[in-house]
Amino acid sequence: MPIAAIISKPQKPELETLLPELITWLKEHEFDSVLDPESAAYIGRSNDAIERPELPCHEPSIVISLGGDGTLLSAARAFAKTDTPILGVNLGSLGFLTEVPLAELYMTFEAWMQGKAIVDARSLMHAELIRDGQPFRQWDALNDVVLSKGAIARMGEFAIELDGQFVARFRADGVIVSTPTGSTAYTLAADGPILIPSVDAMVLTAICPHLLTIRPIVVPGSSEICVSVDGVPHETYLTVDGQEAVELLLDDRILCRRSERSVHLLRLHPNGLFNVLRSKLSWGER
């Protein structure tokens, strides 16, 4: 039987009812299911739980993410090295990534089985942390990579290079390197531009820069952005998609470029991004 992987947000009481119904529905449509620990806990199957990074080993045909954008980002990172489509179902307010409401879960799944669902291919960004001249850690991010200070209110000092050419050195609370998909996340809150997800580009945005003339920069997707940490206050971190953090040291370098991988998101209706923007940002309202 084909397999559907299910990834769920914790502390969502409605999942205690939804998950048994979903698993039964999948069986009726000849799909087996594998559950992450959060999903398994809702239905008393913790012994059958599979950690999210291990879910791709079971070769599911589809991933169902139940929660919000954070849950979908976790699913995307777990399946970054596969082409498995992800059905992101929103259980709260409308998300920028999780466009499918709960009422359309089964309709979207059936449309996918019939080859009629809309598939959005979202590019990932590959980020590599270089420490003492050697590769230290690497990730694939769907939204962004953020360098930001901790609790102490001191600015960091950063230097930017683009394809080996020096761009600028400045002081700021941090730096965001974003994919087009991530342009509606932290970058948007930092006054960055909104990019259509299909645009082949990355966005470099300073967080509260000391110089107000430092503005967000859109660069080609084929570029390599290097952010060097020239001055670092206590507890400055590199955060990937808001979920995994590494403390930064002086002279660390972060290299960001387009990944060879992409994430495939399923939805039922066209024009999803603009529907979300009108809803979330109240476009057109008076």
Q: Are 67 and 101 in contact (CB under 8 A)?
A: no
Q: Are 48 and 40 in contact (CB under 8 A)?
A: yes
Q: Are 29 and 4 in contact (CB under 8 A)?
A: no
Candidates 229, 238, 116; CA nearest to 171 is: 229
CA separation for the pair 115, 117 (Å, rounded): 6
Dihedral angle computed from the Cα positions of residues 194, 198, 200 and 206, in that order, rounded to the nearest 10 degrees: 20
Q: Which of 36, 69, 140, 173 is catalytic?
A: 69
Candidates 257, 181, 171, 178; CA nearest to 216 is: 178
Catalytic-residue membership of 69: yes
> What element of type H or E holds 176?
strand 174-178
Candidates 58, 24, 20; CA nearest to 39 is: 20
List for the chain the helix, strand, coil content (%; round to 5).
25, 40, 35
Q: Is the dihedral of CA 73, 77, 79, 83 positive or negative?
A: positive
The residues assigned a catalytic role are 69
